[in-house]
Structure 1
């Protein structure tokens, strides 16, 4: 086979004459920006002024020559890996393709249309807005699409996102802008072949154990005519071969093979992510006629849902070992997906690994991710919960729509099914619980807008997609992976027990009482389900990132730009209201940015600790969200620039293999230990009570035995015994698990609400010394309790720890890792000039004292 990639392109608006250089893969918005025809879409309020782009038709054109070697081949296919979205394609002015689904691969035989010498390929994109408005009018009633920002797009209440098989978040979301793109968003190539072509190679894992991997190698072959020869499969040093007969057209060949004592693929924390390379060759007298290769990892992954005394379990078992899923929800890394380089993907995946994660959920309002994303998850041992691309909306159920969805599902399941990281196929995000068909007063209030007849129609259309079409595709093409209809869901019961509109003893849970319902953080301890697949809390990016989309004069909570970069309605005010509940008042807006990150980190820390403490009842915690698609105040743990917020450091601590948590009531102090290790932990629990201004008041130690994978209460003592006569406002409790001199887990805990702590201005010193391999390490000490110490530097990278509390007499040593340009991974390095700040630098001391007095008076 010979492949030729088409790289030289130009574009224009269809109602204009002038052509401009274009980048493919790309989209109209990025091409307009590169040509200086629009301002930076992400800066200020520019988003609002660029909504005209999606109302136009756009045209892309490439001129190319076909060499003699290619033109002499029997068949030449033109392959579009992705067209966004409504596109008419012409080759030498002959129509060859009409596309209508962003998520599909489009292939057409162009042997007859190609000519020697110059050829012209033209792709005309029809406006997705003008294409779909008539569908809304024809339907006669609106379909729910909560996050479609139609008003911003100049459409009033006319929401058309549900009609296009296109990334839902392009129409806006409560963390993302509205940029409804058009363009050639994945590569374009000519594929020429003669006689035979292997179009797909799938390693179906029928039974995988440590003793043997029993596999079916499924090879899809296109042939000009009937052919007889040999099919050879190679994996490492092993080969299997058999004689085969191929029909003209498409044939699927199967070979059953077995690999003894395989090196299994494991996720982070359980073992190595071992991979195998498989190659299929069609041979004629030992001469290869066609070949194809794939890499996969051998593993057995199951979703375990078994009845128990609490309800029905919900957890993943990998190679027979239960996995406590620790991770986050992933959204696209950019509003313009072609701007995401391999380096940016790698930065996200390495961040997940550095943060002790073992799972990412590819959320259903974005895209089926690029191959490189899944390759990196395979390589680094991250499991992937994979949604189909449907979210927070009801969808049409006409035949054309269903056919398009079916083709989309087949394309993507076939593309992704060899990745060992894929742990689950999920039908959609939140639609079952939002509609809540079987409970009249549950859900998001959608049902009240429709007659009973239309309700039944919408639900029947929903079931056709998510209860019939998609599970059938998964069962046929990826039978070793479980299909889950919607997240969240209790069970597919067909009655009121189906919907996960409240926390119960089965299914997965999206808990948003904290944030959307303005419930206190403490409710994270009460609302724990079997698998927490969504929950979250917002913060702003750091000042350096904010200044990349806003000038100094816009640095106010309610400025036009700050509101434009806050997509969640009252989001900025919600942050402030929660801050008033839990933290001292920041002295200015720049301090508010810092304090918002502290607030977010403390919220999610409480949630994760509650979830892990509840193991094995709860066996998974995926917070919302991992990343951002543009610079914005959001739920992300790292901002659009890839800079870690306080949350990312908190998550790293909270997802550690061994975790300590401390809880207190007015009478009792309780310490829990949680282990994800596969071995018994024999350790010493050391508790210390420190004075905020220096000195240790109480020291105790206890022997602890923690079983493999156990969560257990390891200490409960009366509060009065620990505190004695000390003022609870002026002490901090530390609990540490030690094996010998090594501390394997530690936790600090305050005995009063944080707003009541009596803080003084600390003097923090930093000492630089040489660590291993000659890379500097930094030791910090303080003369008084320093809350939320923030280390920053001009270098782009991360510290081994940050946003931590520093206690007098307890030095903290950290390292710095540089985000290596063009690589994405972190490399130990010198940090340069390190700026050290703590909460005392961001709080007006006088207002803090007043705040403490007011709270104490209560």
Structure 2
């Protein structure tokens, strides 16, 4: 049987000026330097700029391998991930060179270790700066346009490590995944790709195998055993053969479903390679049986883009995922689990792994398998023209084949996507003229990558890019065809303009807000804090980001009186913007078949579009997602016939009931009321027109429309907040503490618009279970707070915010 020994001990990082410090493997240069006290945390204040030299330097990792004595014929040194440009040397022998973060590398060290005898053999991994390699490749292939002033498209490395409009520029190097020695004899499983399909109740697993043999093992006939649950089959591998496909049938296979549609049964799948009775190698996976396709059929509105799982069309309630840390080696299985559980708890059923990041670790996909989160996986190409010449082309194909095969067992993986915004960029961002016929990636997205997916894993659909209309017959970002990105809203227009279009599938849209208050306080030491104080501006990476925030506020609110009000209102505006888009698009199911919020998470503390900030704190947007992505959603929408209550039912059961419509004065008086029966079938949308006399008249500043159905509520105001006559907010507050939690009950004595308890102001570890709430006079809400050390009503009141106060211009006490 193959022996595996992790190479984790004794690593040192050699410094450019001489000397060494301890190094962690897996790890990276920046984290090693921080651990040694030689680099200030680049996430704090403006330390990022002081760390820029690290990315321009060359670095060497050193250790020594133990003596090579072994009963096995072959010893391989395996690196699952080297970031990025490295020469690997064992003793005096150069084993090879790497230039791709996204793939693994294997080196035969049998002879080198044997020659060393009983001595330990020095191992060095010498990294060249990714900048040096990128500039070398650019000189070879010529300049190409991109969206950022960094050369990330010339090296196969996580693009966003070069900075993005939400991320720092921290170009690191290191052994970022596991290093190990593998000792084996006769043969080993070089690649295992289990492809699970289902036909009716019958499951089928086809295991496609690549086998590597030693010289002595070339003449051996071998046996492969495939076991799926209780089903097992064996097949012979003839002497000299190095590929094989073996299939197992599974009767009555329980289907794997996305969350909200059914259960997620997973089956153990084991492939064993044998030489007679001797076990040579084994590969274990967990698989699920399900079918997934994309419906792109034409209709009166254009052409669809609808995910279909096990024959059921899905409205995808999605979020975009970026690397959870700019130093990905720090992301543990537990951290993946926390973030993905947050997504599932918010009603998310699809995670898009964005193309400027990485192929994530198997821990990520394992969690998605178990939580029922569909995965849309981008290939790592984003916002740039990518050369198709060598040395890049062969690296792209190698990484694609390796990762498509690696991820094939995961039932959560639903779609491979060729790139992020590059087809759109070619058409709209002046690339075509600048390129003057040079390659830019089209051959990857429309040729190489679909071929690799079809050959390696034909069980999953491939889409050429996002946005993409399906062909050059339509604009790449045509909302009537395929996938669309909605960025005119936020960049140039108010979020009310989301209502102007019904895209077939919204793969990106978003609105910014700063991180939670405690996150800002930890990361930025400016005193006083201000939206434009130096540290705050450094942690705002979007072009004119604060200007867009302020212009977005100006449509709805007066100028904030102080930083705390600005911080609160930008959080409110983010949640309002996303709710405007999602409610509108969900109300148009099945014409619109998905929304994928930009973005779920952050990789450091920053003002961004994220729902969960870089310190893992949940913004108000996160809690709003729970409402927006629930199976049942009530919203009030303009329709050609007038104002309409729309009842969206994404559950498997029919939804029947009564929607109560009330025109309510600001003091809580009901001015008019109507009740309408409705029936929304499973996975359908129902409408209940609002009688004209219930609609507040144009310009009404002292009344609103309230719609209620089965405990759900929607509000509609005739004027922007800045023009509404909000009363001075009054409430009663009670705090009951027990067992490490506190229940904060707020009872409204006036209308309270978007009441928010900012729990992290009560203590850095305090967190609330809900976000914004609008209360009519006499109504109550109870907020559960965990991690609050000294609960009390006065402290809770000081952490409460309302739009009422913000519109009145009341200045809050300095925090």
Task: Name the TM-score, length of structure 2 as normaliser.
Answer: 0.93
Residue 718 (structure 2) pairs with residue 751 (structure 1): yes
Structure 1 position 847, deviation (Å): 6.9
C-alpha separation in 2, matches of 1:416 and 1:81? 14
Please point out which of 476, 488, 501 is paired with 1:500: 476
Determine the structure 2 residue equivalent to 1:23. 24
Please point out which of 448, 456, 461 is paired with 1:482: 461
Gaps of 5+ in 2: none
Decide whether aligned partners of structure 1 residues 63 and 513 sit closer, same or farther in structure 2, where only a CA change above 3 A counts: same
Residue 779 (structure 2) pairs with residue 787 (structure 1): no
What is the SS of the residue equivalent to 2:285? strand
Determine the structure 1 residue equivalent to 2:682. 708
Residue 406 (structure 2) pairs with residue 447 (structure 1): no
Residue 582 (structure 2) pairs with residue 591 (structure 1): no
Residue 437 (structure 2) pairs with residue 463 (structure 1): no
Structure 1 position 673, deviation (Å): 1.0
Kindly report which structure 2 residues correspond to 1:41-190, keeping only aligned pairs within 5 A, or say none. Answer: 41-66=42-67, 68=69, 71-114=70-113, 115=116, 116-139=118-141, 141-148=142-149, 150=150, 160-190=151-181
Structure 1 position 377, deviation (Å): 0.7
C-alpha separation in 2, matches of 1:266 and 1:8? 42
C-alpha separation in 2, matches of 1:817 and 1:322? 39
C-alpha separation in 1, matches of 2:437 and 2:517? 50
Q: Write out per-residue CA displacement over residues 213-263 of structure 1, whole angstroms, 9 at most, x where no aligned residue.
A: 133122333333133354322222x23223402434x62222222212211
C-alpha separation in 1, matches of 2:6 and 2:423? 42
Determine the structure 2 residue equivalent to 1:216. 206
**Aligned residues of 1:89 and 1:122 also touching (Cα < 8 A):** yes
Decide whether aligned partners of structure 1 residues 478 and 545 sit closer, same or farther in structure 2, where only a CA change above 3 A counts: same
Structure 1 position 313, deviation (Å): 1.1
What is the SS of the residue equivalent to 1:582? coil
**Aligned residues of 1:65 and 1:119 also touching (Cα < 8 A):** yes
**Aligned residues of 2:355 and 2:378 also touching (Cα < 8 A):** yes
Stretch deviating more after TM superposition (505-514 or 661-670) = 661-670
Structure 1 position 29, deviation (Å): 1.2
C-alpha separation in 2, matches of 1:286 and 1:13? 47
Stretch deviating more after TM superposition (809-818 or 776-785) = 809-818
**Aligned residues of 2:469 and 2:477 also touching (Cα < 8 A):** no
**Aligned residues of 2:225 and 2:273 also touching (Cα < 8 A):** yes
Please point out which of 709, 725, 728 is paired with 1:761: 728
Decide whether aligned partners of structure 1 residues 338 and 585 sit closer, same or farther in structure 2, where only a CA change above 3 A counts: same
Determine the structure 2 residue equivalent to 1:244. 236
Structure 1 position 211, deviation (Å): 1.4
Structure 1 position 331, deviation (Å): 0.5
**Aligned residues of 1:384 and 1:423 also touching (Cα < 8 A):** yes
Decide whether aligned partners of structure 1 residues 136 and 831 sit closer, same or farther in structure 2, where only a CA change above 3 A counts: farther
Please point out which of 310, 335, 347 is paired with 1:356: 347
What is the SS of the residue equivalent to 2:515? coil
Kindly report which structure 2 residues correspond to 1:359-508, keeping only aligned pairs within 5 A, or say none. Answer: 359-436=350-427, 443-448=428-433, 450=434, 454-458=435-439, 461-492=440-471, 495=472, 497-503=473-479, 505-508=480-483
C-alpha separation in 2, matches of 1:810 and 1:177? 44
Structure 1 position 664, deviation (Å): 5.4
Decide whether aligned partners of structure 1 residues 466 and 734 sit closer, same or farther in structure 2, where only a CA change above 3 A counts: same
Q: Write out per-residue CA displacement over residues 6-54 of structure 1, whole angstroms, 9 at most, x where no aligned residue.
A: 1124444564321101111111111111111121111111112221112
Residue 220 (structure 2) pairs with residue 227 (structure 1): yes
Determine the structure 2 residue equivalent to 1:734. 706
Decide whether aligned partners of structure 1 residues 3 and 831 sit closer, same or farther in structure 2, where only a CA change above 3 A counts: farther
Q: Write out per-residue CA displacement over residues 284-306 of structure 1, whole angstroms, 9 at most, x where no aligned residue.
A: 55553432211111110111111
What is the SS of the residue equivalent to 1:373? helix
**Aligned residues of 1:676 and 1:709 also touching (Cα < 8 A):** yes
C-alpha separation in 2, matches of 1:211 and 1:550? 57
Q: Write out per-residue CA displacement over residues 87-142 of structure 1, whole angstroms, 9 at most, x where no aligned residue.
A: 00111231111111111100111111114331221000011212332333344x52
Task: Name the TM-score, length of structure 1 as normaliser.
Answer: 0.88
What is the SS of the residue equivalent to 1:689? strand
Q: Write out per-residue CA displacement over residues 146-194 of structure 1, whole angstroms, 9 at most, x where no aligned residue.
A: 124x4xxxxxxxxx22211111111111111111111111110001112
Determine the structure 2 residue equivalent to 1:827. none
Kindly report which structure 2 residues correspond to 1:500-519, keeping only aligned pairs within 5 A, or say none. Answer: 500-503=476-479, 505-516=480-491, 518-519=492-493
C-alpha separation in 1, matches of 2:628 and 2:657? 19
Please point out which of 624, 628, 649 is paired with 1:675: 649
Structure 1 position 426, deviation (Å): 0.7
Residue 776 (structure 2) pairs with residue 843 (structure 1): no
What is the SS of the residue equivalent to 1:653? helix
**Aligned residues of 1:33 and 1:39 also touching (Cα < 8 A):** yes
Residue 615 (structure 2) pairs with residue 641 (structure 1): yes
C-alpha separation in 1, matches of 2:409 and 2:267? 11
Kindly report which structure 2 residues correspond to 1:464-613, keeping only aligned pairs within 5 A, or say none. Answer: 464-492=443-471, 495=472, 497-503=473-479, 505-516=480-491, 518-553=492-527, 555-613=529-587
Stretch deviating more after TM superposition (702-711 or 796-805) = 796-805
Decide whether aligned partners of structure 1 residues 138 and 232 sit closer, same or farther in structure 2, where only a CA change above 3 A counts: closer
**Aligned residues of 1:25 and 1:338 also touching (Cα < 8 A):** yes
What is the SS of the residue equivalent to 1:541? coil
C-alpha separation in 2, matches of 1:20 and 1:714? 68
Determine the structure 2 residue equivalent to 1:259. 250
C-alpha separation in 2, matches of 1:834 and 1:235? 55
Q: Write out per-residue CA displacement over residues 519-576 of structure 1, whole angstroms, 9 at most, x where no aligned residue.
A: 1222101122100001111111122111112114262222222221111121001101
C-alpha separation in 2, matches of 1:43 and 1:561? 8
Alignment RMSD, CA only?
2.6
C-alpha separation in 2, matches of 1:196 and 1:602? 59
**Aligned residues of 1:78 and 1:190 also touching (Cα < 8 A):** yes
What is the SS of the residue equivalent to 1:408? helix
Decide whether aligned partners of structure 1 residues 500 and 655 sit closer, same or farther in structure 2, where only a CA change above 3 A counts: same
What is the SS of the residue equivalent to 1:191? strand
Kindly report which structure 2 residues correspond to 1:642-661, keeping only aligned pairs within 5 A, or say none. Answer: 642-661=616-635
Decide whether aligned partners of structure 1 residues 846 and 287 sit closer, same or farther in structure 2, where only a CA change above 3 A counts: closer
Gaps of 5+ in 1: 151-159, 437-442, 820-829, 849-858
C-alpha separation in 1, matches of 2:721 and 2:108? 68
**Aligned residues of 1:554 and 1:561 also touching (Cα < 8 A):** no
Decide whether aligned partners of structure 1 residues 842 and 762 sit closer, same or farther in structure 2, where only a CA change above 3 A counts: closer
**Aligned residues of 1:170 and 1:179 also touching (Cα < 8 A):** yes
Decide whether aligned partners of structure 1 residues 603 and 22 sit closer, same or farther in structure 2, where only a CA change above 3 A counts: same
What is the SS of the residue equivalent to 2:476? coil
What is the SS of the residue equivalent to 2:139? helix
What is the SS of the residue equivalent to 2:392? helix
Structure 1 position 672, deviation (Å): 0.8
Structure 1 position 333, deviation (Å): 0.8
Decide whether aligned partners of structure 1 residues 645 and 721 sit closer, same or farther in structure 2, where only a CA change above 3 A counts: closer
What is the SS of the residue equivalent to 2:399? helix
C-alpha separation in 1, matches of 2:808 and 2:386? 54
Residue 304 (structure 2) pairs with residue 313 (structure 1): yes
C-alpha separation in 2, matches of 1:300 and 1:243? 26
Decide whether aligned partners of structure 1 residues 302 and 243 sit closer, same or farther in structure 2, where only a CA change above 3 A counts: closer
C-alpha separation in 2, matches of 1:309 and 1:285? 62
Structure 1 position 779, deviation (Å): 3.5
Structure 1 position 795, deviation (Å): 6.5
C-alpha separation in 2, matches of 1:538 and 1:596? 8
What is the SS of the residue equivalent to 2:559? coil
C-alpha separation in 2, matches of 1:502 and 1:527? 11
Determine the structure 2 residue equivalent to 1:621. 595
